[in-house]
Structure 1
């Protein structure tokens, strides 16, 4: 079974559509959908539950902690981590099970943005390559539960870059698959900020990460450079 884990915080506007989409495209592949919430102040949890998800309040807030909590209660032997504003291909369950059957312990999709902007099409093109900058959560991440346990899950000390970290560690232990289809990602970060600002923020944070700067420094800098909505 595939256990889909969605970390959320104030995603009431998006979560019902995603849960319904995922449930409707599991086909004959058994799936469970877990929404692991970080203490939303809106109706994310109740909406997710009404849509058919197992909606739970994570013991600790923070995306790494929330994904670990979702994985802890998951019943499936395959974990699939996905953001609340991202939609995988309709064939996601079949794709993931086939990849695992082929011997891949973990992997991801390429990205397409929900936007007609040419610059975002260029960004999306490069997600087909196995580059460090493409290890983020927008591409979604599947991993066998045994592989997840072997790398001891996400590092809960990380407030940012947790996706990059777990992929880097997992690549030392198993085969990594980049699925040749696109996960559709919201462009809301680019709509709220300019493309140039987002690129500069991403470049800055990656450099800080590689330079060994503290998590709090990176979070503070990211919030300074970008506006969230």
Structure 2
């Protein structure tokens, strides 16, 4: 699914990617929200975009495939889609986190 990072949309920005942010910008937006247990990257990215240019670097990053091996590719992507939909529909953070802990190993 790494090919999805080519799309310039917030939906393709989180998860097993890296964010490189200047310290001054991070301080300006007051960093990550401490009350977020899950999807903290999805919350911070729109705030970063408002502060200036946002670019996806054309380089690869190696991340752990453990969750994909333990949960299966399709199952994990479906669960992540469900979590995103729950978030869009306003499900509170603690319930999103409980869902994540219950269904994702």
For this structure pair, what is the TM-score category when the shorter chain's length is used for normalisation? over 0.9
Q: Distance in 2 between matches of 1:193 and 1:163?
A: 22
Q: Give yes or no for contact 1:189–1:198 (8 Å, CA) kept in 2.
A: yes
Which residue of the partner structure matches residue 51 of structure 1?
none
Residue of structure 1 aligned with 2:45, choices 145, 167, 170: 167
Once the two structures are TM-superposed, the CA of residue 135 in structure 1 deviates from its matched residue by: 1.9
Cα pair 1:197 1:226 within 8 Å, conserved? no
Superposed CA RMSD: 1.1
- 1:134-169 deviations in Å (ceiling 9; x for gaps): 221421010011110111000000000001111111
**Greater helix content:** 2
Which residue of 46, 51, 60 maps to 1:182? 60
Q: Distance in 2 between matches of 1:126 and 1:137?
A: 12
Aligned residues between the structures? 105
The partner residue of 2:98 within 220, 224, 227 is: 220
Specify which structure has the higher proportion of strand.
1
Q: Deviations over 1:182-208 (max 9, x none)?
A: 111221101001112101111011111
Q: 2: CA distance between counterparts of 1:225 and 1:219? A: 10
Structure with max Cα Rg: 1
Does the alignment pair 1:133 with 2:26?
Answer: no
Runs of 4+ with deviation above 4 angstroms:
none
SS where residue 75 of structure 2 aligns? Answer: helix
What's the CA shift for 1:133? 2.4
CA offsets 1:30-58 (integer angstroms, 9 cap, x no match): xxxxxxxxxxxxxxxxxxxxxxxxxxxxx
1:1-229 alignment, distance < 5 Å:
123-227=1-105
Could you tell me which runs of 5 or more consecutive residues in structure 2 were left unpaired when the two chains were aligned. none
